[in-house]
C-alpha cells in the first residue's frame, strides 16, 4: 500500500519510506495545481508513494495580498535600463503594490508546459 504525503512548493518531497529528499521536486510533471496528486517512485529505495500538491499552503507561506487576503494580482514587467543596459524584471501586485523581482511570466509558463509533458521528468 502506498502512503500519501503532502508536498509543498517551498519544501522538497521526501520519501516516506527512506526519507530520501528529492532535490527537484517541482520537476515532477503533474504536481502543478492545488490538489494534484501523483505516484512517484523513490530514486533511492525504488518504492512508490503518492504525493499531493498543496499550492494554497505555499501561497500562504509566501504571503497573501494584504489588501484582500487573496492571491496577489501580479502584473509583470521586464525592461532594460537605457543607461547601463541592465535587465530589470519582476512583477508588481496591482492591488497592494508589492514588488517581487527576478520573476517572469515565462517562468510560470515553463512550469505549466512541463506539467503537460508527462514524460518530461528531466527536460533539461
Which residues would be at the binding site for Zn ion (CB under 5 A)?
15, 17-18, 20, 42, 44-45, 65, 72, 93, 95-96
Residue 12 neighbours by CB under 8 Å, 6+ apart: 21, 22, 23, 25
Residue closer to Zn ion by CB (options 45, 110) is 45
Phi, psi at 6, each rounded to 5°: -100, 140
Residue closer to Zn ion by CB (options 14, 37) is 14
Cβ 40 to Zn ion, closest distance in Å?
A: 10
Q: Quick one: three-class SS letters along 61-123?
A: HHCCCCCCCCCCCEEEEEEECCCCCCEEEEEEECCCCCEEECCCHHHHHHHHHHHHCCCCCCC
Cβ 21 to Zn ion, closest distance in Å?
A: 10
Rounded CA-CA distance 114/110 in Å is 6
Cβ 55 to Zn ion, closest distance in Å?
A: 17
Residue closer to Zn ion by CB (options 37, 115) is 37
Rounded CA-CA distance 117/107 in Å is 16
Residue closer to Zn ion by CB (options 15, 53) is 15
Cβ 119 to Zn ion, closest distance in Å?
A: 22
Amino acid at each position: 500500500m502506498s502512503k500519501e504525503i503532502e508536498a509543498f512548493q517551498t519544501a522538497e518531497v521526501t520519501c516516506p519510506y527512506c526519507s530520501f529528499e528529492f532535490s527537484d521536486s517541482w520537476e515532477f510533471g503533474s504536481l502543478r495545481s492545488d490538489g494534484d496528486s501523483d505516484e512517484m517512485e523513490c530514486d533511492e529505495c525504488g518504492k512508490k508513494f503518492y504525493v499531493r500538491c498543496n499550492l494554497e499552503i505555499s501561497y500562504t507561506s509566501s504571503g497573501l495580498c494584504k489588501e484582500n487576503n487573496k492571491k496577489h494580482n501580479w502584473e509583470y514587467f521586464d525592461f532594460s535600463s537605457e543607461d547601463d543596459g541592465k535587465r530589470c524584471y519582476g512583477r508588481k501586485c496591482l492591488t497592494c503594490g508589492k514588488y517581487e523581482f527576478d520573476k517572469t511570466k515565462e517562468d510560470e509558463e515553463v512550469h505549466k508546459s512541463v506539467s503537460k509533458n508527462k514524460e518530461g521528468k528531466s527536460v533539461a
